[in-house]
């Protein structure tokens, strides 16, 4: 058993969050995405294998999956292609994705560090009242802003008063969301192990995250000798 197996098992153990929208924040083991557009499910040029993920920064299951995906990309030195898919029922996920894009303009590494930090501190942004078990939506955006200001200051950056005055970053997030819709995304996270193969099954959805490492092993074995492998790229589109 690989060292990540326990972490992957823990990632699956958390409870589902049920929402009235058709879009869900959790995919059960029985749910498989009906792929309508497979074009985005390819590794970046020069890579044999990659992880492709559509994520929502406010999604609890995305936060649970994040350490495992980061660990797998680092260990196998394969690209981790992260796409924005902020669910409309979430209060602050779209703004968080815009914020991450602003940090991307400083460096892709910093943008991904921000995403990882948001996931790690998600419960501090989305505060649940312990007495009622309910979430006060009015606190999410202010908490996110305070968190983002501190993250910027910790990295010796001054967060602008208006982070996206021309809405260019928001347009990039919306484009990623539209891409996800074209693929057929219905929940977050939606994760695939993808290959550069043109025959057989060039992409496989990760429904059971305890099998992620074995899926990557299989993909690398199937593509052996088919091309060079780039070092891990955690955020690439």
DSSP 179-210: HHHHHT--BSSEEEEEES-SSS-SEEE-SSGG
Handedness of CA 231, 102, 66, 23 (dihedral sign): negative
pLDDT at position 128 is: 78
pLDDT at position 237 is: 53
- Each residue of 114-133: pLDDT tens digit? 999 999 999 999 987 777 77
Nearest-CA neighbor of 50 among 203, 158, 155?
203
pLDDT at position 49 is: 98
On average, the pLDDT of the chain sits at 86
pLDDT at position 33 is: 95
pLDDT at position 16 is: 34
196, 48 in Cβ contact below 8 A? yes
Architecture per CATH, domain 4-222, reads as 3-Layer(aba) Sandwich (3.40)
More confident position, 75 or 21:
75
Mean pLDDT of 94-112: 98
pLDDT at position 9 is: 40
Mean pLDDT of 38-56: 97
pLDDT at position 111 is: 98
More confident position, 136 or 84:
84
pLDDT at position 11 is: 37
| Residue boundaries of the structural domains of the chain | 4-222
Mean pLDDT of 229-237: 47
pLDDT at position 160 is: 96
């Amino acid at each position: 058993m690989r060292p990540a197996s326990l972490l992957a098992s823990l990632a699956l153990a958390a409870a589902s969050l049920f929402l009235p929208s058709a879009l869900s924040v959790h995919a059960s083991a029985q749910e498989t995405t009906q792929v309508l557009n497979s074009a985005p499910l390819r590794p970046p040029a020069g890579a044999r294998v990659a992880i492709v993920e559509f994520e929502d920064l406010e999604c609890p299951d995305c936060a649970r999956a994040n350490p495992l995906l980061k660990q797998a990309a680092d260990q196998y030195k394969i690209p981790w292609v992260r796409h924005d898919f902020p669910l409309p029922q979430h209060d602050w996920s779209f703004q968080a994705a815009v914020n991450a894009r602003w940090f991307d303009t400083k460096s892709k590494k910093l943008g991904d560090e921000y995403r990882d930090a948001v996931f790690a501190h998600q419960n501090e942004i989305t505060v649940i009242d312990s007495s009622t078990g309910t979430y006060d939506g009015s606190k999410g955006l202010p908490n996110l802003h305070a968190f983002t200001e501190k993250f910027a200051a910790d990295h010796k950056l001054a967060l602008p008063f208006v982070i996206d005055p021309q809405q260019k970053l928001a347009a990039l997030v919306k484009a990623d969301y539209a891409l996800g819709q074209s693929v057929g995304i219905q929940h977050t996270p939606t994760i695939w192990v993808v290959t550069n193969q043109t025959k057989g099954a060039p992409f496989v959805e990760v429904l059971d995250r305890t099998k992620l490492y074995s899926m990557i092993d299989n993909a690398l074995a199937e593509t052996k000798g088919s091309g060079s492998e780039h070092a891990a790229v955690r955020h690439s589109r």
